[in-house]
A and B are shown apart, each in its own frame.
Chain A
Amino acid sequence: MAMNAQSKFVSRDALSEFLAELSARFRVWAPRREGMEGAGAVMYRPFDQAAGVELDKKPTESAKRVLFPPAEALFRFRRETDGGLSLESPPDPGPTLIFGLPPCDARGFLIFDPVYAGSGTAGRAQDTYYLRRRSKTVLIARACSRVLSTCFCHWVGGGPAGSEGADVLALEADDGFVLEAVTPAGAELLEGKALRPAGDKAVKAAEQSRASAQKNMLPAPGISEAPEALRRRFDDAPFWRDEAAHCLSCGACTYLCPTCYCFNMTDEGAGTSGIRLRSWDACMAPLFTLEASGHNPRPDKAARLKNRIGHKFSYYPSLHGQRFACVGCGRCIKSCPSGVDIRRVVTDALGRETASAGAVPGKEKRHA
């Protein structure tokens, strides 16, 4: 997208003022560094002027928590004294804005959308909780001017300065950011007093930062055949045993992922009142599919990794317009304690015709 007349500039110094201004109309979320100075994770939190915003380091987690909270009450139940039972839904969420999310996180919501909007298969219902938040949320994405070795957004149709899914794209320029409107809702955000029109010099710097990140990305292998390759691999037990050999079933990959949307539903409280809770769940956990009878359709970590990769690169594309359920953020690679690399699993599935635990070409790469 080219710069246009609507582009605005906000200096780093004025950023706080801009976000404070937006806070009058929205509940603003932004990434910030948690814990000890310099050592903590970068997490999405409600904006707090005193705590500031972290825009230089990629957030450790994805932005999904804003639209899909780690835990939320679906309703409250109450037993009345007359023996009756009442259920009370939570109030509607207010307007929300996420500032400073990388383009991969903005695209992540596009993966949630068709599933939570109930499309794809008859019988899938509208998830009213997600949709109410989604329709009231605007996104100001921040283009990446640097990429990490784990980044692979360009494998799956994205880019470090991609604007897909965002309402505004912020590009780094000198001592601030050039803000480009992507949607009408985004254009409306750029009318703030803290902003000034982007000058030629800032526009030029922004164009440079747009180009520089892209330049640093290694060529992407073609993975359009992945859905079929993974289907063919389904019964290749040695392949999956090998790919999952190092997995600890910790689930970090799923919790940090911007497109993992699985959840659990449990009740809290008993007696006279309590809540039904929806909380993030991880398909990598042994208990995820364990049935009360003791039967488990995905009984080992190989079966579970196969489902996670299969879902993202085969099942989801077959149900939702051939789009992969992965935005290439690389968090699952960066944060995996045992070096499981989703890129490698996919390219292995595409590449190797047979696999056995004893002879794995390039196995040493796992520990590189």
Chain B
Amino acid sequence: MISINDLHAGYGALSVLFGVSLHVAEGQTLALIGSNGAGKTTTFSVLTGFVKPRSGNVTLNGSVISGLAPTDIVSMGLAMVPEGRRLFPSLTVEENLMIGAHCDRKGPWDLKRVYSVFPALEPLRKRPSSSLSGGQQQLVAIGRALMSNPNVLLCDELSLGLSPAAVDIVYSAIARLRAEGMTLIIVEQDISRALASSDTFACMRHGGIPLSGPSAGADRAQISSAYFGMD
């Protein structure tokens, strides 16, 4: 479904990614873990088209998407739930959801389906998005991304700034999407949560991937070593 092949990227004189390679099969969920500065955000920035790779590429369903404009990448089937939700404050909840469908990609997701999956949002549809709680906003951000009918959904730090109860609600929504066969890449600081919500994981450090494998039965000591760089 989506492959990252020997990706090198950075900003100006600063190199951040050094030969990152990953593959996520259709219907699978990959958890991308790593400390701050490991390269997760840059990887997502390349995937979404905001950073051009220096070498290597990203393919989605066999087509190279790296180097394309962000708008073209959305049209090709990659959507993102950004860190901090980043809802549009001047738009209502429903308008935020509708803006997700801007590129008119055909597929099963429409307002009716989003409301059926996230029934808590329907009574709030006319409310300004800024008046919602953090958990409600995160559900809107997920619904907004789904409205573009993506093949692959990127989720960046879904639990950031949310109460434990809200995190449970958000991750139950992710579980439902996984059950429906959505292909996901999630970045999550809570390693236990990340492993429990994914099929495979990749641990990033210093712009590379020292450790990856199936999430089920992953060795926590090995992950800690890779995460913190302890030999």
A is bound by B: no
Using CB atoms and an 8 Å cutoff, list the residues of chain B in contact with chain A: none
Using CB atoms and an 8 Å cutoff, list the residues of chain A in contact with chain B: none
